[in-house]
Amino acid sequence: MDATKPPRKGGKRRQNYDDLFLKELPRTEKVIDSNSMINDLPQNTQQHIKTYIANRCPGSEEIVEALFYIANNYPKQLRTKELCETLESVTLIGAKINALMADHPERKKNMTIYDLACGHGLLGILIAYRFPNVKVVCIDHEERPCWSTYIEAFEKYGEKWEGKDSVMTNFTFREGDLMDTATFQPQIGDYLICIHGCNDLSPYILQSAKQNKCGYAIMPCCVRENIFGVSTKSSNRNWGMDDDTRYATMVGCLAGKYDCEKIAAISKYITNRFLMIIGDYYEDGGGGSSDDEESEAADTSKRAKRT
């Protein structure tokens, strides 16, 4: 990308894959079956998954090879639902991080991206691969067996950055309680991610982002009744609010409580917890860039040419 040109605002609209999620992948009543594994899918569906990955990671076809290396060699470590929700989340989050660093180039050198309560860790790994000159730290209570598998795959198929000996030199895992300052202490300008954090975790991370002037991407999961002082149920259960409506209402309350920038969504056909609160507190007022969720196309030719 020509550094003398202003950053692109928006890009080619992402292809919609709801037909894949809804018609081809194993499902429960409303969402992708959480027990479905990529390696168990029919061959024609696996080919469609490869096309989908390539679309979500344009210019980085090696990611398809890395992910299917995992699926083929460690068949119980790559779940269909986890893959889809992670790719959709990375698409939104990557676009925002690109925009923040375009608006504030100093953050490219100083920012740490945290994937908090990271679980399987695939999101943090994909973010680290997309932004090879930015430090990425994943934090959780324990390190899962799939961690070494993911690193193995990306070291095998990924492209090294600027002559470095390892592909994932910017990536680390930290075991511990993220509510303990010895484990997690963000600095001004960092970026905090939490996908499917339950109850108090999402507001805790948003509060940390606000106090430390960080960017954030939060996809709440379970939200306890009255956690924000708002009730969505009656004692005789006759208010008629279904789970999707209640979830959307509570996410809206959370975003409003912390003066968040915007609420985005991944496909509701993947997961019933599909809303993401995205923004930045780096500048007073937290408004940040006028980024578009499609701006991932602005800088995706090849990893060596990226941010």
Counting Cα atoms < 13 Å in the Cβ hemisphere of 181 gives 3
pLDDT averaged per 10 residues in sequence order, the chain, 307 residues: 42 77 95 96 97 94 96 95 97 94 90 94 95 94 88 94 84 90 92 91 94 96 74 65 86 92 95 95 57 44 42
CA distance 84 to 21: 8
- Kindly report the pTM of this predicted structure: 0.86
What CATH code is assigned to 18-305? 3.40.50.150
Q: Smallest Cα–Cα separation from 246: which of 220, 267, 265?
A: 220
CA distance 260 to 228: 15
Helical packing angle, 80-103 and 43-56, nearest 10° = 10
Domain coordinates in residue numbering, the chain: 18-305
Q: Looking at residue 28, what is its pLDDT?
A: 95
Q: Looking at residue 50, what is its pLDDT?
A: 97
